[in-house]
A and B are shown apart, each in its own frame.
Chain A
Amino acid sequence: MSASFTAEEMMTVAAARMLPNRAVCFVGIGLPSTAANLARLTHAPEAVLVYESGPIGAKPSVLPLSIGDGNLAETADTVVSTPEVFRYWLQGGRIDVGFLGAAQLDKFGNINTTVVGSYRNPRVRLPGAGGAPEISSSAREVLIIVAQSKRTFVEKLDFMTTGGFLNGGNSREKAGLCGKGPVAVITDLCILRPDAATRELTVTHIHPGISRETVCANTGWAVKFAPDCEETPPPEAHELDVLRALKARTAAAHGAEGEAA
């Protein structure tokens, strides 16, 4: 066991552990890509990473700065066109896990990456949907990795870019979203999973050194804790070693600070 680690390292390691070996994973850029590659370099060497730019089975030695870096193409089993990624591979039902980030998230795992404020007159214009709405509906299950604060974990989204469990209960199934939806949300403070009946995100694991009060203070709704809520096992030495080496290689390759979030 390692002596010390950052909150971001804990989040990345906890997210990486969720990806089973041999899973076919549709990877968003930033934190999802870091976590998926950490999984591939530790317990899930046969995980298949699919990027929306076209690489299938990418095995990058450094983290891509953008979703279409050359390193992804060079290390992939095959590179297909973007329409083919979305038509044959995602909509075709070949993705086990969709790995997403979020700018805002609500208690039903719905995601906003579009605007803060009103759509017509936004206070902050965010990048938009990218591949997320269809990844969320077509992947068998979804993992969300996002830093937790009152700004990101909100009672009500300004805009629902990507549906999770919509209004909770069985509203997701009724709306025609195919996969299981967000089975876990991994943050820098804790892990949340949907309640079996209400589908409300409930804290199941709290990271070492984090209090319930801190989790509550950084959540924009009255967050619930599972009765058997436990402490997240801390990062193991080899997980941290692999993650830090990956970050160091990335920084060396890209110059300066390496991959941005």
Chain B
Amino acid sequence: MAEWMALKDATATFVHDGDFVALEGFTHLIPFAAGHEIIRQRRRNLSLIRMTPDIIYDQLIGAGCAARLTFSWGGNPGVGSLHRFRDAVENGWPVPLEIDERSHCDLANAYVAGASNLPFAVFRGYAGSDLPTVNPRIRWIECPFTGERLAAVPAVRPDVTVIHAQKADFKGNVLLWGILGVQKEAALAAKRVIVTVEQRVESLHAAPNSCVLPAWVINAVCEVPRGATPSYAHGYYERDNRFYRAWDAISRDRGTFAQWIDRFILQTEDFSEFLALQRETESRTVVQ
């Protein structure tokens, strides 16, 4: 049953060194505040999974939190490369990163299999691709009815899934809307679930068929306004495209990146202090 907690306490309680961790959100509702808190608490040796690693995983990887990454598209959307991810894969910095690489169709199906408590996912995929030749987790299965050869991959069952949503009521029932990605499947596939939300409300006033995660499938709910910044929360704030561009320069160089992580994450108390520092830095840049 969901318990309202501070993000710091939820992270300390539910995210452990060595865990298999999913932070999902497809461009929208990316749980940045939670990712920062994992860096702040210096978690190590995590197996991370995320369809689109985005800059939140660039930060976690560059900060040395990850030993393994399962993913299907690793870039800075609309900008270019994830430099910390590339440095880890190409040069093993700051620590070597084992990669488990898939396609979107694969991971979407693998989360569904996890949420469905099935051992594996089956789909029509990977025909002609070299990915199955470099990833032994991608295998083939013959349909027992038609004989068609289909792709099979193990179900994804994270130790902990963290997502961000717009609202939760006082009981901890969570409502999200807009682009939903795989958040519901990732949450239902996981052993433990942390949800950060923009707002705590008395009632969700959700229409039937809304995407609601009932409180009893969640371990911790944390109120973190703007907790998806610099991604966006539909109905609350827009994507900070300037930061996505700025990240390219911050992350390109190991030293600049390390300074940024130290100043903005390790030296700040929580996400609200991070946001205040970032606002202050940006306004100074504008004045110059």
- Listed in ascending order, the chain A residues whose CB lies under 8 Å from chain B are 29-30, 52-55, 64-70, 72-73, 79-83, 85-87, 90-91, 110, 114, 119-120, 122-125, 127-134, 136-138, 159-164, 166, 172, 175-178, 254-256, 259-260
Contact = CB atoms under 8 A, between A and B. Distances in A.
Contact of A53 (B28, B71, B129, B245): B28
B127 A130 contact: no
Contacts, number: 182
Nearest to A177: B127
Contact of B181 (A53, A87, A166): A53
A221 to B, nearest CB: 19
A130 B72 contact: yes
A85 B179 CA distance: 12
Contacts of B242: 255-256
Contacts of A67: 26-27, 52, 77
A91 B150 CA distance: 12
Contacts of A52: 104
A144 to B, nearest CB: 15
B181 A79 contact: no
Interface stretch (B14-22, B85-93, B262-270, B277-285): B85-93
Q: Is the interface of B mostly helix, strand, loop or mixed?
A: loop
B275 interface: no
B77 A160 contact: no
Nearest to B185: A83
A67 B104 CA distance: 13
B128 A110 contact: yes
A129 B131 contact: yes
Q: Which of A73, A83, A164 has the most CB of B within 10 A?
A: A83
Q: Is the interface of A mostly helix, strand, loop or mixed?
A: loop
Interface residues of B, number: 55
A73 B179 contact: yes
Interface in B82-130: 85-86, 89-90, 101-105, 108-109, 111-112, 123-130
A82 B29 CA distance: 14
B85 to A, nearest CB: 7
Given A66-B239, A68-B181, A163-B128, A130 B27 contact: no
Nearest to A171: B128
B72 A129 contact: yes
Nearest to A81: B180
B89 A125 contact: yes
A173 B129 CA distance: 14
B62 to A, nearest CB: 14
B131 A161 contact: yes
B78 interface: yes
B184 interface: yes
A30 B71 CA distance: 20
A201 B188 CA distance: 45
Nearest to B150: A176
Given A127-B75, A130-B72, A82 B130 contact: no
16 contacts: A52-B104, A54-B26, A68-B77, A73-B179, A81-B180, A83-B182, A86-B104, A122-B89, A122-B90, A128-B72, A130-B72, A131-B105, A134-B105, A134-B123, A134-B126, A138-B124
A130 B184 contact: no
Top 3 A-B residue pairs of the complex, sorted by shortest distance between their CB atoms:
A163-B128, A68-B27, A66-B77
B222 interface: no
Given A70-B232, A114-B101, A129-B104, 12 more contacts: A54-B26, A65-B239, A66-B239, A70-B238, A83-B182, A86-B108, A125-B74, A127-B75, A128-B72, A132-B103, A136-B128, A160-B130
B259 interface: no
